[in-house]
Amino acid sequence: MTNYTWYDVGDATVGLLFGLAGVLGGYALRGLIGRWQADAIEKQAKHRLTEADAEIKNRLKEADIQARAEVVKAREEFEKSTKARRKELQDIEERLTVREENMDKKAILLEKKDQAVAQKQEEQQRKGEELQQRRAEADKRFQEAEQRLQRLAGMTHEEARREVFHKAEQEVRGEAGNLIRRVQEEAKESAEREAARIVGMAVQRFAIAHASEIMTSTVPLPSDDIKGRIIGREGRNIRTLESLTGVTMLIDDTPEAVVISGFDPVRREIARQTLELLVADGRIHPARIEEVVKSVTEGLDKAIYEAGEAAAYEAQVQGVQPEVLRVIGRLKFRTSYTQNVLRHSVEVAHLMGMMAGELGLDPALARRVGFFHDIGKALDQQSEGPHAVVGGEFLKQHGESEAVVNGVSSHHSDVSSEGLYGVLCSAADAISSSRPGARCETLGVYVQRLEKLEAIANSFAGVRKTFAVQAGREVRVIVEPTQVSDNDAQMMARDISQQIAATMQFPGQIRVVVVRETRCVEYAK
């Protein structure tokens, strides 16, 4: 156990008192510092409150000023709008006043017109009464004159009427008979021309042998000695050639040449190439002929497809099926009045493309219609009907659009055209066929045609001179003015054109111009 002295207790008490005094002094100092800080914060808050009051007063003043300005502005705008409305109302009142004045004037004019109309009605009524009186007098005089005429003629009114009707009926029947005969003759002439065209087209598509100047090919020979080898023993070589190619070969008519006759140009081309290869090779016997014909046929099929492909590229027609190209390539070996049909199709395609571009249509579609328009001419006899309709059906089977099918089918008016492409195709076809140089003919045929045209025109009475011009596409007939009247000249032009159409075959059309001229000459002395 520890023993403490009073010194130690006294020191502890003093230390405790000093510590307690320090704590109390610290609390007192902290309280003073807090009061000082609170006073400072209170002063700062009062200062800020004063500033806020001043700012609120300033903003209230600004808002009051701005509100007064907006009120003034709104008042000015209201006064302006009110002034404009007042002016508008004033203008309306002025226009109404003018309109009322005009209405008053119109009412006055209408009253005057009503009065004038009433006067005219009275005048018309008076004239009507006078007219009725005059008509009654005229009827009375007519009856008196009719009675006198009946007494003088010895016929009643009904008898005279029946006589007039009988004569008129006879005249009308005579004119009707002449008209019927003329219509029948014209129909017969048109039917004969149409029948000739249809038969010619059917014969060409049937592809049988046919004698014609443009349907022959000539193969030159080195000498006439080779003809015997072509004929063969007892004619076996020539018979083999004709049976395999389907053409007729004329050997004895032309010196140092063989004429191949056949309406199908593809078969004629096969026979021509076969004969040329046989003559060049020198070996001519039935087995060799069969071998060469087979080789030429295979090569020609490839050439036909390449020709169709090249023509489609030239005509700028894309996406054509191979089968269609093979058929279109056959047109390379077909002609129409000596015009190559494939070249004609390409030309029609370009013409249609240009015209479609000018009309705002689709040039690509127009070229397609023009390129395919004569594809029916390349089909065989298994397809019956006009070549335009047959071509349209063939294209429809191979996936062509309705616009292309209708344009091809309607370019000769065999079916109704559902758009402008059929009409464009017809126009382009006529342009390509009738342009100068499109369809050539020999000089002898050309001269004969001109002479025949002039002879037909000279056969009519009153004709002085006749001239065939424009390569036979126009005939100018000069008549005697003292023998032929104007009406007779019109009838003569019609009769000449009918006779030309009935007795001649020609591409396009021929214009007949009858010239009647009267000159009066005097001399002043």
Summarised one tens digit per residue, pLDDT across range 4-55 is 455 565 667 777 787 788 888 877 888 788 888 888 888 888 888 888 888 8
- The tokens for 416 are 């109704």
**Domain range for residue 505?**
443-516
Does 477 map to a domain? yes
pLDDT at 198 over 60: no
pTM: 0.44
Does 328 map to a domain? no
pLDDT band at 368 (very low <50, low <70, confident <90, very high): very high
Does 226 map to a domain? no
Which residues in 83-114 are b (16+ Cβ under 10 Å) and which e? eeeeeeeeeeeeeeeeeeeeeeeeeeeeeeee
Please state the domain count of the chain: 3
User: Residue 227 and residue 244: Cα distance in Å, rounded?
Assistant: 19
pLDDT at 488 over 50: yes
Does 401 map to a domain? no
Same domain, 122 and 183: no
Same domain, 137 and 25: yes
Same domain, 28 and 126: yes
Same domain, 115 and 167: no
Same domain, 115 and 200: no
Same domain, 193 and 106: no
Same domain, 39 and 84: yes
3 state SS of 467: strand
Does 403 map to a domain? no
Does 241 map to a domain? no
**Which region among 214-223, 252-261, 388-397 has the lowest average model confidence (pLDDT)?**
214-223
Same domain, 128 and 23: yes
**Which region among 158-167, 198-207, 322-331, 364-373 has the lowest average model confidence (pLDDT)?**
198-207
- Looking up residue 482, the CATH number of its domain turns out to be 3.30.70.1350
Same domain, 118 and 59: yes
Mean pLDDT of the chain: 79
Same domain, 96 and 161: no
Q: How many CA atoms lie within 13 A of 339 on its CB side?
A: 22
Alpha helix segments (H runs only) across 234-285: 236-245, 265-281
Most trustworthy range by pLDDT among 262-266, 269-273, 446-450: 269-273
pLDDT at 1 over 50: no
Same domain, 96 and 198: no
DSSP codes of every residue in 382-404: TS-S-HHHHHHHHHHHTT--HHH
DSSP 8-state assignment for residue 155:
-
Q: What is the pLDDT of residue 13?
A: 77
pLDDT band at 153 (very low <50, low <70, confident <90, very high): low
Does 260 map to a domain? no
- Among the three residues 126, 145, 164, which one is the final residue of a domain in this structure? 145
pLDDT, tens only, 304-332: 888 888 988 888 888 888 888 888 888 88
Q: What is the pLDDT of residue 479?
A: 92
Same domain, 89 and 176: no
pLDDT, tens only, 44-84: 888 888 888 888 888 888 888 988 888 888 888 888 888 88
- Residue 347 makes CB contacts below 8 A (sequence gap 6+) with 432
pLDDT band at 445 (very low <50, low <70, confident <90, very high): low
pLDDT band at 477 (very low <50, low <70, confident <90, very high): very high
Does 82 map to a domain? yes
